[in-house]
Structure 1
Amino acid sequence: MKQVFLFLLIGILAVSCSQKNWEKTQDAVIVYPQKAGEQQAQAIKITPVHDEIIKVSASATKSFSTKESLITVPLEEAVSFQVEEDGENLIISTAKTKVEVSTLTGEVLFMDENGNPILQEKEDGGKSFGPIEVDGVSAWSTRQVFESSDDEALYGLGQHQADEMNYKGKNEELFQYNTKVSVPFIVSTNNYGLLWDNYSLSRFGDPRPYGQIDQFKLYDAEGNEGGLTATYIDNNENDHVYTIRTESTIDYENLETIENFPEGFDFNHARIVWEGDIEPTESGIFRFLLYYAGYTKIWVNGELMADKWRTAWNPSVAKFQYDMKAGEKYHVKLDWIPDGGVSYIGLKALSPVEPDVQNDISFYSEMGDQIDYFFMKGNSMDDVISRYRTLTGKAQVMPKWAMGFWQSRERYKTQEELESTLKEFREREIPIDNIVQDWSYWEVDKWGSQEFDKARFPDAKGMIDMVHDNNARILISVWPKFYLGTEHYNEFDKNGWMYKQAINDSIRDWIYPGYIGSFYDAYSEGARKLFWEQINEHLYSMGIDSWWLDATEPDILSNASIDYRKELMNPTALGSSTQYFNAFALMNAKGIYEGQREENPKDRVFILTRSGFAGMQRYGTTTWSGDIGTTWEDMKAQISAGINFSMSGLPYWTMDIGGFCVQKKFERATEGSEAMKEWRELNTRWYQFGAFAPLFRVHGQYPYREIYNIAPVNHPAYKSMLYYNKLRYRLMPYIYSLTGAVYHDDYTIMRGLAMDFSDDRRVLNIGDQFMFGQSLLVCPVYEYEATKRDVYFPNNGGWYNLYTGEFLAGGQKLSVEAPYERMPLFVREGSIIPVGPEIQYTDEKKGAPIDIYVYTGKDASFKLYEDEGTTYAYEGGEFSTIEFSYSESDNSLVIGARNGEYPEMVKNREFRIIKVSREQPVAMLGKANDAKTVNYQGEKITVEL
């Protein structure tokens, strides 16, 4: 009997041990890891959503959330996949991707179709959970860690202001803020991407928040332990000391913490200096975060780590790092001039982590139901971004007029100001397509009315018609903000669609004498529809062409702490603002886009928005970099900011050319002064750069930003700005073809060098040069009085100087000429660039001849894209393409047969072929003696060069 019992027990144990801890559903595989510990994933779901896109979900329980993603769009076709067991692992295979999952730990490995590893989660899966409860809702703080190969570079994460290009080994906190746009997506030079599907405050890299400086032993200027010496000078002209005190933290970053400044201290002519020594208790690289407004300098051991300026009301951040040894003292001096009024300053640090840990890829989020991320792969970074847009939505072909010049200022205060500005552009023959009406066109106490103040805009409909009659379009600022008691506020409020904390706290804004108001809840479908109905009734019906969605972080109260910002937008229709902190701009744009397309399915939507998120591109949006400052440092930071934003999968980006917030020295600059000289040069250099941003747009506070207000007509600044404006318009056939490729090929216009030269490791950290399309190397000048700059010419071919046609070999770094009126621009060997006639607006001279510049030395190709320019007819196939192909061995250009058509198409074209070679350099827009003219009627033509 004992033997029978023993055999029975063995049999039961054998059956139990052999039971599968995984299951296959119709669209996924679910694994319940056998060795899952506390705060680890209890269930992992692998869902192939495309042959090269894999969704991974991980739950701290054994069930999964059924909520729909805000980021992704439904994919039409189910993906075929197979599952096989390989010992303790599962292999899940699509036609192009394999995923290996450990049934013991849940660790995931992504491979290509041949089983070659691409990306691996950290040992034991790299997943961790921590319980969090907000507003009575239980959820999880989540983290996912991946191993990162030593040779890869990482880009994306949206748009940030610390002038960082390659995020390998870097840290970035992901939240929305004026000048900061967080997109939880990275793309690797190893040709994969990761999209982190979470909407709460998140962190890339180190999951810890930056800590206060009291993590160090602190010594004052006299060597006494306890804190740094803080010297408060209330009159910087005579160095009058208001008080001196010892401070163990420098934390004056928001409206709450600035209450800790000395009572009664006057900031208007102030200077504050913190000085002393810091002594770490551990050794390694400390990473510092300097939060600053005003003029700020910081030194460590006499080495200047940052020298910055931002306007008092709109702080920014600088990052630096320092290698320190435990027990050693390091002298620190922070010198701060607030530059008028109460301002903001802070210094924080992260203690060292092991280098291999710092180099891991890590995403952390404060609150979510589970871990959700998407792995995607391709044969290039362009492929990966194409997968991203397959997952999150295609970007449209922008209206052709949007690719022209945008003139704006803060702000046109009257109808006469706006109309006279457009008239002046036309009279001076300065090309322009768009003029902008910024905020406060409404009556002063009726923010959110979406109606013009008749005293200042007596005939708003007539003004809009005047813009259209002058072959231009008008963009108008529409905020998600409403004053208490106004008609539109009440319409939202009666449905429970207003955020009420600002009302309850009686927060007044900065419009004299201060008005109480708040923002609507864009997470509510009904609220989004109402918002569109209001602007449709009052603005779109009058002929407004496009929308400026400002303060969409949402910025209900500038410089509030993160915690109070959550209170101000809580609750949302979907849940706690803690969980839905980052996606307001996405939902706000969704309402406008869907509303306009329903109202008018024909005309393309154009939205300019200050904040953004993953998926924004599907709503006809362009994001701009917010209220940046008028400094050379800010200008330089926009280069890497724009590149990384574009490499986050969102192809349309722009900035305030010249900077929005103006230093007082420029506000007060007089003719002949050094300040005026610098102001003009700063605007000139920024304008040169801006002509090659995806959108070409001028905006800012006083002084006025029209080029004739910046400099007189005979000044080099005026001449240079006019030249680049005209060059942008001459390049419109090239630029609009890139815009077509954005939709049809998921292309990226503003390109980090690694996208086209990933085999050249010298480009991986270059953040001050970029490709504009496949042919133009753009090298902005960002130093005052510089007439040269260093340029790295990527390997894999040579480069032609755009202005002279001179040839330069690739794979070298050179100091190149950069005279005041010209920014270094180079054309890639083996390029074809179509150039149109001089025009004043984008749809002028539609049938004019097009110059085709062929830059020889390598085979070349270009696809000329054309459509009607303003409607969505291209979605139904109404567009045409003409393929140009140059053969170096045959010395011939083939103009292919036209593919496609549309009703307004120019059927017969004149092409003027201009050959540029090492032996025969030709300047673009210069005189070409041996150009060949071809009459093209849609059939294939071969031209011998």
Structure 2
Amino acid sequence: MPFSSRQRIHLYLLGLLLFGSLASAMKTEDFKTCSQSGFCQRNRLYADDAAALGDAFRSPYAVDADSLHLSLEDTAHITADIINKNADKRFTMALTFLQDNTVRVQMNEKDPLHPRFDAHAAHTLVKAPVAQAPQAVDRTQDNQVTMILDASRKVIVTLEPVKVDFLVNDASVITLNDRGFFNFEHLRTKESHKPKMIQQQNDDGTLEDVQHAAEDTMWEETFKSWTDPKPNGPESIALDISFNGFSHVYGIPEHASTLSLKETRGGDNAYTEPYRLYNTDVFEYALDSPTSLYGAIPFMTAHRKDLSAGIFWMNPSETWIDIVKTKSSKNSLAKLLDFGKKEVTTTQTHWMSEAGVLDLFVFLGPTAKDVLRQYTSLTGTPALPQQFAIGYHQCRWNYINQKDVLEVDQKFDEFEMPYDVIWLDIEYTVEKKYFTWDNTKFPDPIAMEKQLDDKGRQLVAIVDPHIKRADDFPVFEVANKDHYFVQKPTGGDYEGWCWPGQSSWPDFFDPKVCQWWQSLFAFDKFVGTRENVHIWHDMNEPSIFNGPEITMQKEMIHHGNWEHRNLHNLYGLLSFAATSEGVRTRTKVPKRPFVLSRSFYAGAQRYGAVWTGDNMADWDSLAMSMPMILSSGLGGMPFNGADVPGFFGNPGPELLARWYQTGVFQPFFRGHAHIDTKRREPYLVDEPYRSITRKALRTRYALLPYWYTLFYDAFKTGTPMMRPMFMEFPQEEQIFAMEDQFMVGDSILVKPITTEQTTSTDVYFPGEQPWYDLETYQPIYHHGYRTVDAPLEKIPAYYRGGRIIPRRERPRRSSAAMALDPFTLMIALDKKSNAEGTLYLDDGESYDYEAGTFAHTHFVYNKGILTCDSLHADGASAGAQAFAKKMSSVRVERLVLMGTHRQPNRVQLLTKQTTLDLAFSYHEAVSSLEIRDPAVSVVECDWTIRFDF
């Protein structure tokens, strides 16, 4: 007798339990610690040995001065050999000076036994970096070479022991190998290896030479029941990188950790383990932990009052990062940093990767936004999504059938709650065979999709990279026949266990496999889909239920004969990219794809959105969603969000309401739930919670114009939409570690409520400008902390003085229904009665904006006069003019002027043709002024509005 759908699910869950990946909470024993990861243990012990010797330790790595090649006529490269004097091995070093305050440092073995993995740059970098020669080179110091990049920046290479300093205004900002932890394990044969020995005292007092403990894992290591044969032996790279004068470092997502990264070796409230970057499927992950999660971006930013800087450690193998903060009262450093007699904190980091080569980018800012621009100029700026993607998404594991989907859709309309996308999890398929539909549950998916499309709504269907091994499954048959799967070292397809049972995984490192995978999303291949169907790409770490650490064994083989250990963190990016390209090219005229991926690596921002994974429906997880998303944005991956109101568990109505209020102000906004939870669509909760969630959803949709403009800005510059406070207020030290409030763009401050039964909270108001309550417009003239009311129906959120924020106020069922709606401009005045803001508009789905078919308007209010002008660099182009004509009837229907303090005598609209008096109402209690229907265009700036006070 065949199993029912729910019985099959429970069998899968039972299988997971047997393999040790499910329990009541994260099973930490399923994942390695540093001491269980051989290369991490070896490099930590190397660092310990160096630290224990103190001044007596001298790094064995030195630059061979005779090999040093530099010239101003050269293309901004400096090359040299580095010698490990202890091992008598040579390595190559290259420093490349790039445009925009960026330097690249590369090291490799000079004559390796076989090539080391360095083939990931083509997938990670969006273009070849552009070199820029330094202004001058100084060789007057015997043991140093100084490159003068410009008037304020220098790079100094110390030859022996090798060290590289990056200076800004003559102060060292970043130092490589400051503590001498640089360690490059050269490739060797097992027969030629001479184990490191130490002396051990026996019980009788005699000394005996024994093998160093770190040697045990060089050629083979075990974890639980798995053995990693490590046929190439030791091949790790480690380097200490010091951020001089910086107390705070950020980024390296993904971890459920604090925004300002914690120390990992000593210090107050420190972790005992390094931060780990190793993409894994972690069930019910622990909070406040350096444990690796689904994504890995080895990009770190440091910030202090006068400067930001960053580094990108471009290596997709397993990586660990130790962080230590030291205080120094060295007068020279303090004087250079203008700290007087204050102690200076330096953050010292230690990066350790299992394999590959050293390929490091150093970014010298000077601001945090500059560092992100420099990073995304190399790895790509975030993709501009279709407009529906920034609306609300409704998901559940699982909507059980076609009738269920359409009933949920109808209920949102009945309760007047807007949403844009409904999602299908794994149960829509036939036996978890992706690209198929279970016709008993979904007899006519095209009809269902058309019904959604008639309302301007979309469908997302899940497609995971594990392919069921079944002879009646064409996708498997083709991949099996053409050898498209990751291979075993002994030959044949790698096999493991995931949702379909016995499965294999496409080798996305092979270009042919990517092309094949892309073709599967064509409408004649993925039968039952149409243009309003988009893709959720889950479990792509890859997640393997019966694998070590719930993932693939490292010795498995990819295209080019590369071991999986070399590119593990790259797998999610490669599968994400192939899926995104398949969705993009399935139509004759490509449309921007929407793909959600769980796993990611540097460069993934080019392909779509991610989320924080399988979180809990509790207050702590709500609070942790903020530093997780902020850290992701600082890692260059800003289109991120958390499952609302938590994936596991059944939230109470208060938590549900507070989480929806928070999700409004996070980039990716999706409600999602585990299969064993109670149904909790937002219309199901009782009053007053239902009205509160409806209000939250409507707030999101009212702010969509502002959000879409922020996404465009991110696409152009890399600046995240959801920003840590220090990014907008870089001089206020007390907010450098703040993670319980944040900025949406540069104009809205948000302080979510993340504790139960809270009706007031302390908000920190930075800067010297006023702030205005998002709902009441009440001005706040205060710098620093202030207690504000936060009853259940209210999330503290404030407009920043000096900003103009576009909104669309009319309640609609979806973003598509808002396309021609009029705008409200919220004008929040600064102390000098000025404000400005921008609005970006395009068709919301195509790539026509690349040809100039868009409008980009700059609004300015200056002491009583409101004007606008176009920011379009080529506004006279045919595309720009055609779009402006199409949108010319879209008007401003309301102006709200906050912080006026007095009522005007009159308000006038001035155009070339006429002058009209406009009706207005003044609200003295909150110093705001409202003008109804000035009827001016948001794209044709041939008007002025004058306020006579």
Q: Which residue of 1 aligns with 2:69?
A: 22
Distance in 1 between the 2:597 and 2:859 partners? 36
Matched, 1:861 2:848: no
* Alignment match of 2:848 (pick from 873, 877, 893): 873
User: Compared with structure 1, are the counterparts of its residues 914 and 374 closer, same or farther at alpha carbon in structure 2 (3 Å cutoff)?
Assistant: same
Q: Residue 903 of structure 1: CA displacement?
A: 3.6
Q: Which residue of 2 aligns with 1:102?
A: 158
User: Compared with structure 1, are the counterparts of its residues 41 and 925 closer, same or farther at alpha carbon in structure 2 (3 Å cutoff)?
Assistant: farther
Q: Which residue of 2 aligns with 1:786?
A: 758
Of the structure 1 ranges 32-41 and 196-205, higher mean CA displacement relative to structure 2 is found in 32-41
Distance in 2 between the 1:40 and 1:934 partners? 75
Distance in 1 between the 2:180 and 2:836 partners? 45
* Alignment match of 1:549 (pick from 537, 562, 566): 537
Distance in 1 between the 2:671 and 2:382 partners? 23
5 Å-filtered alignment, 1:887-902, equals 887=862, 890-897=863-870, 899=872, 900=875, 901=880
Of the structure 1 ranges 180-189 and 524-533, higher mean CA displacement relative to structure 2 is found in 524-533
Q: Which residue of 2 aligns with 1:757?
A: 729
User: Compared with structure 1, are the counterparts of its residues 705 and 500 closer, same or farther at alpha carbon in structure 2 (3 Å cutoff)?
Assistant: farther
Matched, 1:201 2:318: yes
* Alignment match of 1:156 (pick from 234, 246, 251): 251
Q: Which residue of 2 aligns with 1:520?
A: 506
The residue matched to 1:694 in structure 2 has which SS?
coil
5 Å-filtered alignment, 1:10-159, equals 19=66, 21-23=68-70, 26=75, 28-33=77-82, 38=87, 42-61=91-110, 67-69=119-121, 70-75=123-128, 77-81=130-134, 84-86=137-139, 87=141, 88-94=143-149, 97-112=153-168, 115-123=170-178, 126-131=181-186, 135-137=230-232, 140-159=235-254
Distance in 2 between the 1:924 and 1:603 partners? 48
* Alignment match of 2:888 (pick from 880, 887, 907): 907
Of the structure 1 ranges 791-800 and 732-741, higher mean CA displacement relative to structure 2 is found in 791-800
Report if the CA contact (8 A) 2:154-2:167 is conserved: yes
Report if the CA contact (8 A) 1:163-1:638 is conserved: no
Report if the CA contact (8 A) 1:36-1:104 is conserved: no
Q: Which residue of 1 aligns with 2:815?
A: 842
Distance in 2 between the 1:18 and 1:481 partners? 52
Q: Residue 849 of structure 1: CA displacement?
A: 2.5
Matched, 1:188 2:169: no
The residue matched to 1:32 in structure 2 has which SS?
strand
Q: Residue 543 of structure 1: CA displacement?
A: 3.3
Q: Which residue of 2 aligns with 1:578?
A: 565
Q: Which residue of 2 aligns with 1:456?
A: 441
Q: Residue 139 of structure 1: CA displacement?
A: 6.0
Q: Residue 939 of structure 1: CA displacement?
A: 2.8
Q: Which amino acid counterpart does residue 728 of structure 2 have in structure 1? A: D
Q: Residue 421 of structure 1: CA displacement?
A: 1.2
Deviations 1:606-638 (A, max 9, x none): 11011111100112x100111111111111111
Report if the CA contact (8 A) 2:487-2:557 is conserved: no
Deviations 1:852-888 (A, max 9, x none): 111112433211111111001112222111111223x
Matched, 1:530 2:535: no
Q: Residue 556 of structure 1: CA displacement?
A: 1.4
Report if the CA contact (8 A) 1:434-1:473 is conserved: yes
Report if the CA contact (8 A) 2:372-2:636 is conserved: yes
Q: Residue 428 of structure 1: CA displacement?
A: 2.8
Report if the CA contact (8 A) 1:41-1:127 is conserved: no
* Alignment match of 1:429 (pick from 407, 411, 416): 416
The residue matched to 1:843 in structure 2 has which SS?
helix
Normalization by structure 2: what TM-score? 0.74
Distance in 1 between the 2:317 and 2:399 partners? 37
Distance in 1 between the 2:899 and 2:927 partners? 14
Distance in 1 between the 2:248 and 2:85 partners? 32
Q: Which residue of 2 aligns with 1:645?
A: 632
Distance in 2 between the 1:626 and 1:548 partners? 13
- The RMSD of aligned alpha carbons is 3.3
Q: Residue 546 of structure 1: CA displacement?
A: 1.6
Q: Which residue of 1 aligns with 2:936?
A: 935
Q: Which residue of 1 aligns with 2:275?
A: 172
Q: Which residue of 1 aligns with 2:602?
A: 614
5 Å-filtered alignment, 1:286-685, equals 359-368=347-356, 370-444=357-431, 447-485=432-470, 486-499=473-486, 508-509=497-498, 515-536=501-522, 537-539=525-527, 542-557=530-545, 560-562=547-549, 565-567=551-553, 570-574=556-560, 575-600=562-587, 601-619=589-607, 621-662=608-649, 666=650, 679-685=652-658
Distance in 2 between the 1:771 and 1:690 partners? 13
Of the structure 1 ranges 77-86 and 152-161, higher mean CA displacement relative to structure 2 is found in 77-86
Q: Which amino acid counterpart does residue 454 of structure 1 have in structure 2? A: N
User: Compared with structure 1, are the counterparts of its residues 818 and 91 closer, same or farther at alpha carbon in structure 2 (3 Å cutoff)?
Assistant: same
Report if the CA contact (8 A) 1:153-1:168 is conserved: no
Report if the CA contact (8 A) 1:152-1:168 is conserved: no
Gaps of at least 5 residues in structure 1 are 1-15, 208-283, 285-354, 667-677
Q: Which residue of 2 aligns with 1:314?
A: none
Distance in 1 between the 2:345 and 2:823 partners? 54
Distance in 2 between the 1:18 and 1:182 partners? 37
User: Compared with structure 1, are the counterparts of its residues 34 and 745 closer, same or farther at alpha carbon in structure 2 (3 Å cutoff)?
Assistant: closer
User: Compared with structure 1, are the counterparts of its residues 509 and 707 closer, same or farther at alpha carbon in structure 2 (3 Å cutoff)?
Assistant: same
Distance in 2 between the 1:506 and 1:33 partners? 42
Report if the CA contact (8 A) 2:778-2:927 is conserved: no
User: Compared with structure 1, are the counterparts of its residues 528 and 18 closer, same or farther at alpha carbon in structure 2 (3 Å cutoff)?
Assistant: closer
User: Compared with structure 1, are the counterparts of its residues 117 and 356 closer, same or farther at alpha carbon in structure 2 (3 Å cutoff)?
Assistant: closer
Distance in 1 between the 2:925 and 2:98 partners? 46
Of the structure 1 ranges 456-465 and 834-843, higher mean CA displacement relative to structure 2 is found in 834-843
Distance in 1 between the 2:935 and 2:576 partners? 45
Distance in 2 between the 1:568 and 1:130 partners? 18
Q: Which residue of 2 aligns with 1:215?
A: none
User: Compared with structure 1, are the counterparts of its residues 818 and 388 closer, same or farther at alpha carbon in structure 2 (3 Å cutoff)?
Assistant: same
Distance in 2 between the 1:523 and 1:683 partners? 41
Q: Which residue of 2 aligns with 1:704?
A: 679
Distance in 1 between the 2:465 and 2:782 partners? 49
The residue matched to 1:754 in structure 2 has which SS?
helix
Q: Residue 683 of structure 1: CA displacement?
A: 0.8
Distance in 2 between the 1:505 and 1:810 partners? 62
Distance in 2 between the 1:774 and 1:358 partners? 29
Of the structure 1 ranges 75-84 and 739-748, higher mean CA displacement relative to structure 2 is found in 75-84
User: Compared with structure 1, are the counterparts of its residues 540 and 146 closer, same or farther at alpha carbon in structure 2 (3 Å cutoff)?
Assistant: farther
Q: Residue 135 of structure 1: CA displacement?
A: 4.8
Distance in 2 between the 1:18 and 1:183 partners? 35
Q: Residue 741 of structure 1: CA displacement?
A: 0.9
Report if the CA contact (8 A) 1:433-1:472 is conserved: yes
Q: Residue 926 of structure 1: CA displacement?
A: 13
Q: Residue 433 of structure 1: CA displacement?
A: 1.2
User: How many pairs does the alignment contain?
Assistant: 756
Q: Residue 916 of structure 1: CA displacement?
A: 0.4
Identity %: 22
Distance in 2 between the 1:870 and 1:41 partners? 53
The residue matched to 1:844 in structure 2 has which SS?
helix
Q: Which residue of 2 aligns with 1:917?
A: 899
Distance in 2 between the 1:553 and 1:508 partners? 14
Q: Which residue of 1 aligns with 2:11?
A: none
Distance in 1 between the 2:841 and 2:527 partners? 30
Q: Residue 762 of structure 1: CA displacement?
A: 0.8
